[in-house]
Amino acid sequence: MILLARRIGFYLLAALVAITLDFFIPRLMPGNAVAAALANLHSQFTPATIKALELQYGVGTDQSLWTQYLHYWNSLLHGNMGISTSHYPATVTSVISAGLPWTLGLVGLATVISFTLGTVLGILVAWRRGTALDNLLPAMTFFQAAPYFFIAIVLVAVFATKLGWFPAINAYDQTLVTPGWNWAYISNVLDHAILPALTIVLASAAGWIVGMRNVMVTTMDEDYVLVAQAKGLPKRRVVNYAARNAILPSVTGFSLAIGFVVSGALLTEVVFSYPGIGYILQQAVLERDYPLLQGVFLIITFAVLTANLIADFAYVLLDPRTRQEA
Amino acid sequence: MAIGTGIGAAETPPVTADAPVPGRRRAPRLRIPRSPKVLTGLGLLVFFVLLAVIGPLVAPYDPSASLSSTNGVPQPPSAAHWLGTTQTQQDLLSQLLVGGRSTMLVAVMAGLVATALSVIIGVTSGYVGGLVDDLLSMVINIGLVLPALPLLIVMTGFLPKDANPSDLLIGLIISLTGWAWGARVLRVQTLSLRNRDFVDSARIAGERGWRIISFEILPVLVPIIASSFLFTVIYGVGTYTALAFLGLINGTHWSWGTILFWAQSQTAAQNGYWWWWVPPGVAVALLGTSLALLNFGIDEFINPRLRTAGLSRRRARKTGLPRRFPLGVTPVTRPRAPLPAAAGRPAAEETSS
C-alpha cells in the first residue's frame, strides 16, 4: 500500500498549499478590499467582532506575516474560520455545515449517475463505431461546451415554468413539509432535486462518454481482445474484457473532471437557489462576506481532494498491478 | 505512441492518399483533417472572431443605456430591438454584440498565457528530468487537483469592489488556473521524445539544450500545444462566463456572462423572458462547440485511430473498408490495399445485439 500512502501524502500537501493560498490571497491582492469592507461594518458589529476580523486579515496590526500565519493555522485547527459578516452573528463553520449536506447529496448522487451512465454509453458508442451512434459525438460536444448554469436555466424554463412538472427553486417546500424522516418530506426533497441533478448529469456525462469512447476505441485493437474474439467468446464477454481495461484511464481522469463537475454544480445551485455550498458562495460574493468566501473555498478543496482519494482507492481495487508492488 | 505518427507526418513528406497530383508535390506539415466536424468548427469560429472584431462597432445602442423610462417590463424581440430589451429597457442585441469582444479577449488571453506557462513548465519538467522534474510535476499535480473556479472566485473576490478590471487582467488571472492540464500532457510527451534517436543525435552533435528544445522537440509537439491552447480557450470562455454570472465582474463590464447575470438576478427564466438568456447562453455554447470541434480534428491528427470513425459510409465504401470494422482492425490511414482481416469477420459481429 505504498502507493496509497504516497497519494495520501500528496493530498495532504495539496491541502497545505490550498490553506496557504487562502491565507495569502487577501494579503496580496491590490487595493485593500478587506479594509474597505471592514470600514463599512463598524456601525453594525461589536468592537470585539471587528477586532477579530481585523486580526484575521492582518488589517492594522503590526504582527509579522509569520505570526499571522501561525495564528491563522491555530484558529483553523480549532475549526474556527471566523464570523460570517453576512450571516452575523453565525460563524462561518455553522453556515457551511448547514449547506454542506445538500451539496454532498446532490453532487455525489449526480456524479455517480453521470459516471456510470457515461461509461456505459461510451462503451456502446465505441463498440458500434461507424454507425449512426457516432452522430451523437458532436451533440455531446455542445453539452460539454454549454455552461452548466445555461443548461440549468433551460431546464427551469422548460420543465418548471412552462410545463410545471418540477419546482424551480429551493431544496424543499418549507410551507408544505417539515424536515424529518417522513415520506412527505423525503419525496418533496427528491422532487426538488431532480432538475438540479439532471443538469449535472446532462452536462458532465458527455465528458465521460467521449473519454471512455476514445480509450475504448484504442483498447479494442489490443491483442487480447482479438484473441478473445477469435476464441469465439460471446460478444458480451469480449466487450467486458475491453471495457474493464478501458475504464482505468477514466478513473484516472476523474481527478481532472471532478473539479469541473464541482464548479458546475456550484453554479447549478445558484440557478435553482438550492441551499448548498454554491448558493452560499454566491451570497458571500454578492455580500462581500470574505471569511465565508474563504471558508467555502477551503471546504470545496477538501471535498475535491477527498473525492480524488476515493478515486485512487477505486483504482487500486480495479487494477491488480498496483497491488503487486506493495 | 500517439506522437509517433505526428513525427512521421512532420519529418518525412508522406505519400498521402489525397495528394497524388503529379507536379504538385506538397509536403503538408499540418494536415488538418477536412471532416465536416472540423469545417463546421472553423466556420463557427470565423463567425465569432468577426463578431468580436466588428460587434461593438455595429451595435445599434449603448449596451448600458436605458432607452425608455416608462416601461418596466422586458420587451420581446421587435423591429426596433431585434433581441428584445431587459427590465430597464437596455437593448439586448447591443449587449450581445459588445459582450462578444470581451468574452473572446479574455478567453484568448487566458489561452495564450496558460499555454505559454504549460509549455514552459511541462517541457522543462519532461526534458530536464531528475529533481527539477519531481518538483515541477508536483506543482503540476497540485495545480490539477485544486478546484479552479472556487480559487478564482476567491482571487477575483478580493479585487477592489468598484474596480472595473481590464479584460487582459481577467484573462491573466484565469490563466493561472488553466495551465496544469496542458503542462501534464506536454511533460509526458516530452519524456517520451527525450530519448528518441533524432534528439540523441542532436545532443551528440553538440546542440545546446535550449536549441534542442526549441528546434527538435517543440515542432513535434505543435499539434498537442494547439490542442491544449484550444482546450484552454474553451476553459477561459466557460470560466469567464461563470465568474461574470456569479457577479464577480462589474455589472457594466459587458460580456455574455454579464447578460446572464442580469437575466438570473431578474429571474428571467421563471418569468418566461427567454429572449434575455437564450442568445448569450447559445453563443457561449456555440463558441465552445466550435473550438471543441476543431480539437476533434487535432485529436484525429494526433491519433489516427480516431479518424476512421469520422469517415462517412459512402467514403468508407469508396476506400474499400468494411462499413463496420471488426475488432483488432483499425485502419490507421485510408488504406488502398484490401484489409487482410476484413474477409474473416467473426460471425459474432454479424449478429449484433
The partner residue sitting opposite A31, judged by closest CB among B163, B284, B293, is B163
| B196/B199 Cα distance (integer angstroms) | 5
pLDDT of B3 reads 35
A130 with B311: Cβ contact below 8 A:
yes
Average pLDDT taken over every residue of chain A: 80
Q: Specify the residue for cell string 475504448.
A: A216
A85 and A287 Cβ atoms separated by less than 8 Å: yes
The partner residue sitting opposite B145, judged by closest CB among A281, A282, A305, is A305
Average pLDDT of the segment spanning A147-166:
80
Residue A89 DSSP code = T
Q: Which residue has the higher pLDDT, B241 or B353?
A: B241
A120 and A240 Cβ atoms separated by less than 8 Å: no
Terminal-to-terminal C-alpha distance of chain A: 5
B149 with A36: Cβ contact below 8 A:
no
Reply yes or no on whether the pLDDT at B29 is more than 80. no
A142 and B285 Cβ atoms separated by less than 8 Å: yes
pLDDT of B191 reads 85
A129 with B309: Cβ contact below 8 A:
yes
The partner residue sitting opposite B147, judged by closest CB among A169, A221, A262, is A262
A181: distance to nearest CA of chain B, Å? 31
Reply yes or no on whether the pLDDT at B300 is more than 70. yes
Reply yes or no on whether the pLDDT at B114 is more than 90. yes
A110: distance to nearest CA of chain B, Å? 18
pLDDT of B33 reads 57
Report how far Cα A169 is from the mean position of its chain's Cα atoms: 20
Average pLDDT of the segment spanning B62-73:
72
pLDDT band of A32, cuts 50, 70, 90 = low
Chain B residues with beta carbon closer than 8 angstroms to that of A130: 308-309, 311, 313, 316, 323-325
B144: distance to nearest CA of chain A, Å? 6
A25 with B155: Cβ contact below 8 A:
yes
Reply yes or no on whether the pLDDT at B87 is more than 50. yes
B25: distance to nearest CA of chain A, Å? 32
Q: Which residue has the higher pLDDT, A5 or B165?
A: A5
| Bridge partner list, A83 | A91
pLDDT of B212 reads 86
Chain B residues with beta carbon closer than 8 angstroms to that of A33: 157-161
pLDDT band of A200, cuts 50, 70, 90 = confident
B146: distance to nearest CA of chain A, Å? 6
Of the given ranges (A52-61, A62-71, A85-94, A234-243), which has the lowest mean pLDDT? A52-61
Q: Which residue has the higher pLDDT, B15 or B100?
A: B100
Which of B213, B290, B287 has its CA nearest to residue B257?
A: B287
pLDDT band of B304, cuts 50, 70, 90 = low
| A112/A92 Cα distance (integer angstroms) | 29
The answer to whether the pTM exceeds 0.90 is no
Share of chain B above pLDDT 70, in %: 73
Reply yes or no on whether the pLDDT at B10 is more than 50. no
Average pLDDT taken over every residue of chain B: 74
B239 and B110 Cβ atoms separated by less than 8 Å: yes
Cβ-Cβ pairs closer than 8 A, A with B, add up to 223
Chain B residues with beta carbon closer than 8 angstroms to that of A36: 160-161
The partner residue sitting opposite B293, judged by closest CB among A138, A221, A308, is A138
DSSP B183-214: HHHHHHHHHHHHTSHHHHHHHHTT--HHHIII
Share of chain B above pLDDT 90, in %: 5
pLDDT of B14 reads 39
Which of A171, A125, A185 has its CA nearest to residue A268?
A: A171
CA atoms within 13 A on the CB side of A139: 7
| B37/B294 Cα distance (integer angstroms) | 7
pLDDT band of B115, cuts 50, 70, 90 = very high
A145 with B138: Cβ contact below 8 A:
no
B150 with A300: Cβ contact below 8 A:
yes
Reply yes or no on whether the pLDDT at A178 is more than 60. yes
Reply yes or no on whether the pLDDT at A72 is more than 50. yes
Interface test with B, best of A86, A125, A148, A153 (most B CBs within 10 A): A153
Chain B residues with beta carbon closer than 8 angstroms to that of A307: none
Reply yes or no on whether the pLDDT at B353 is more than 50. no
Of the given ranges (B220-224, B236-240, B248-252), which has the lowest mean pLDDT? B248-252
Cell numbers linked to B56: 461593438
| A216/A125 Cα distance (integer angstroms) | 9
A33 with B291: Cβ contact below 8 A:
no
Average pLDDT of the segment spanning A25-47:
70
Interface test with A, best of B153, B262, B294, B296 (most A CBs within 10 A): B153
What is the radius of gyration, based on Cα positions, of chain A? Answer: 24
Q: Residue A131's closest chain B neighbor by CA?
A: B324
pLDDT of A52 reads 75
Average pLDDT of the segment spanning A142-170:
78
Which of B265, B216, B319 has its CA nearest to residue A130?
A: B319
| A309/A303 Cα distance (integer angstroms) | 10
Average pLDDT of the segment spanning A209-227:
83
Going B16 to B19 to B20 to B26, the CA torsion angle's sign is negative
